[in-house]
Amino acid sequence: MNDITILKKHQVVQQAQQSAQKEYEKLFNAWHPYITSSHHGIVRELFAAENMIGYVIQVNLDTLNTPAPTAKLNEIKTWAREHLSSDRLITLA
């Protein structure tokens, strides 16, 4: 996958959006030449039981024009794990 997902949950949608946007700005400032698009959205249903609202940002990356595209993608994802804070989606079994 050539994407990174940022998710923030809060009881107030504006707070969730602001938190997610702060994390996106860190990613954008460090890796903007590789970002091709981002999609932002509000997620209500998944977190209603927690009385929370989620704000998700899906960031699409393109590293194909680099000398080692897989290595560059791994470098970006490693950086993201170390520098970004994101809530996790809970998967039901």
Specify which residues 41 forms β-bridges with. 56
- Looking at residue 65, its pLDDT comes to 85
CATH of 3-83, one of 3.40.50, 1.10.287, 3.30.70, 3.40.1710: 3.30.70
- Tens-place pLDDT, residues 7-35: 999 999 999 999 999 999 999 999 999 99
Give burial (CB, 10 Å; 0-12/13-18/19+) of 30.
middle
Domain ranges of the chain: 3-83
Whole-angstrom distance, CA of residue 60 vs CA of residue 16 = 21
Confidence band (pLDDT; 50, 70, 90) for 6?
Answer: very high
pTM exceeds cut of 0.75: yes
pLDDT at 76 over 70: yes
Helix (H/G/I), strand (E/B), else coil: 18: helix
Output the six-digit token pair for 35: 């970002």
Query: What is the end-to-end Cα distance of the chain in Å, rounded?
Result: 23
pLDDT at 71 over 70: yes
**Residues 44, 11, 21, CA angle at the centre, nearest 5°?**
80
